[in-house]
């Protein structure tokens, strides 16, 4: 039994669901491939003015050292190389944090918000599904806050508001993990309904579509024709949902709402090495790599970082591998995926620890400070 969502399907029904999910995912894959065969189109005249900046200039608090320490400590017993999971980019300082606080499971509740098309292949492949089960078994109160996979951020914000209002009364704050378009959906909730989001202590963006995706800009017309109404296991969309992850739309949203986001945001970026790229993501990855090889198959690395947020780290995983193990859940489609290597639960646990340190005001110190006389 899934402690968060209820009963699992019976074995016979599960096999049927698996076949339906495979068919739906295959249809989506073919449609996406067809889209990618169309030459890209961009509209630079419609984009809001923007610049690239260093982390410090963008007001980003660099917590990569602290997050690495928290993650590596968890990976060590399994003999997994931390550098194989968490990429080390220039500028990362070796930080030491205070001893992890006890009883994190009893002091916080955890929620997960999926991204675009997440519900379109059924429940057999669900973002964060394995993490939910692991955390629930460890005594954490976990909630899955589903959004419409082909819904707009405005509509999904209303759905999230209703779900937040329906949560059990509990004084413990929420740490909410949001994947991909789930981040714009969640931020829309915070901006529109601050009172209903007051229990959220922190948001962790997991490959979040912070500044939008070049692919959304280029494939908008093709998405509206092929994917918005394609028969899948989710409600059809209007086609407007793709606009929520376009570059110009996201930049304009931040211009209007930056001051209304009072919840601290922590950014976890995905950026796979070539040997860890899932074959399913190859077409989109190489399309983006023609501009910048540091991408996760859907987003450039810098489009995943919230200005003014806390940067946790760069994970050696692609856009979907960070939240789900399709190879495990749907073995029949295993050849299309390479996602068994990602320690998703440990990545989430380490994030909770670092978030807690920040919320409690626990100072981090550099190696030089520790060793100074």
Any domain includes 301: yes
What count of Cα atoms within 13 Å lies in the side-chain half-sphere of residue 54? 5
Helix, strand, coil percentages (3-state) for the chain, rounded to 5, are 45, 10, 45
Query: Please, is 167 exposed, middle or buried when counting C-beta atoms within 10 Å of its C-beta (0-12, 13-18, 19+)?
Result: middle
Please give the backbone phi and psi of residue 167, each rounded to the nearest 5 degrees, phi first. Answer: -65, 150
Any domain includes 195: yes
Any domain includes 50: no
Domain that holds residue 328: 11-37+62-371
**What pLDDT score does 339 carry?**
61
Any domain includes 185: yes
Residue 347 sits at the vertex; the CA angle it makes with 117 and 334, to the nearest 5 degrees, is 50
Any domain includes 57: no
**What pLDDT score does 106 carry?**
84
Do you know the residue count of the chain? Answer: 373
What span, in angstroms and rounded, lies between the C-alpha atoms of 237 and 148?
9
Residue 96 forms beta bridges with which residues? 365
Q: What is the pLDDT of residues 40-88, one digit of tens each?
A: 444 555 666 778 788 888 899 999 999 999 999 999 998 889 999 999 9
pLDDT in tens, the chain (373 residues): 333 333 333 444 344 434 434 444 444 443 444 344 344 444 555 666 778 788 888 899 999 999 999 999 999 998 889 999 999 999 998 765 556 777 887 899 999 999 998 888 766 678 898 999 999 999 999 999 999 989 999 999 999 999 999 999 999 999 999 999 999 999 999 999 999 888 999 999 999 999 999 999 888 988 888 888 887 777 888 899 999 999 999 999 999 999 889 999 999 999 999 999 988 889 999 999 999 999 999 999 999 999 899 999 999 999 999 998 755 555 555 556 666 789 999 999 999 999 999 998 864 544 343 333 3
CATH number, residue 257: 3.40.50.1820
pTM: 0.85
**What pLDDT score does 298 carry?**
96
Q: Which residue, chain included where needed, has tokens 């067809």? A: 34
Any domain includes 45: no
What span, in angstroms and rounded, lies between the C-alpha atoms of 319 and 325?
12
Any domain includes 67: yes
Instruction: Count structural domains, the chain.
Output: 1
Any domain includes 2: no
């Amino acid at each position: 039994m899934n402690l968060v969502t209820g009963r699992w399907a019976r074995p016979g029904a599960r096999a049927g669901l698996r076949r339906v999910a495979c068919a739906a995912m295959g249809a989506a894959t073919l449609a996406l491939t067809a889209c990618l065969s169309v030459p890209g189109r961009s509209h630079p005249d419609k984009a809001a003015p923007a610049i690239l900046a260093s982390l410090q200039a963008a007001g980003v608090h660099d917590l990569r050292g602290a997050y690495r320490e928290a993650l590596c400590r968890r990976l060590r017993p399994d003999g997994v190389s931390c550098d194989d999971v968490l990429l080390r980019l220039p500028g990362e300082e070796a930080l030491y944090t205070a001893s992890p606080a006890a009883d994190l499971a009893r002091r916080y509740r955890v929620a997960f918000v999926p991204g675009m098309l997440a519900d379109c292949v059924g429940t057999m492949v669900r973002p964060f599904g394995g993490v939910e089960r692991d955390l629930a078994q460890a005594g954490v109160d976990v909630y899955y806050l589903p959004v419409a996979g082909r819904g707009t951020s405005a509509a999904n914000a209303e759905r999230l508001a209703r779900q937040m209002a329906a949560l059990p009364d509990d004084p413990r704050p929420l740490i909410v993990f949001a994947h991909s378009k789930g981040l714009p959906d969640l931020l829309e909730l915070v901006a529109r309904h601050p009172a209903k989001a007051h229990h959220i202590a922190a948001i962790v963006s997991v490959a979040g579509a912070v500044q939008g995706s070049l692919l959304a800009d280029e494939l908008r017309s093709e998405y509206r024709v092929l994917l918005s109404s394609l028969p899948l296991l989710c409600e059809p969309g209007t086609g407007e949902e793709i606009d929520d992850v376009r570059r110009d739309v996201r930049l304009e949203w931040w211009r209007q709402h930056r001051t209304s986001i009072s919840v601290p945001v922590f950014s976890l970026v995905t950026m796979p090495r070539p040997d860890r790229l899932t074959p399913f993501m190859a077409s989109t990855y190489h399309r983006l790599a023609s501009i910048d090889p540091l991408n996760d198959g859907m987003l450039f690395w810098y489009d995943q970082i919230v200005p003014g947020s806390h940067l946790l780290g760069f994970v050696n995983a692609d856009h979907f591998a960070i939240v789900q193990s399709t190879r495990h859940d749907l073995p029949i489609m295993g050849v299309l995926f390479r996602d068994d290597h990602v320690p998703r639960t440990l990545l989430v646990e380490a994030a909770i620890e670092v978030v807690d340190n920040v919320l409690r005001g626990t100072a981090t110190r550099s190696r030089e400070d520790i060793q100074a006389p």
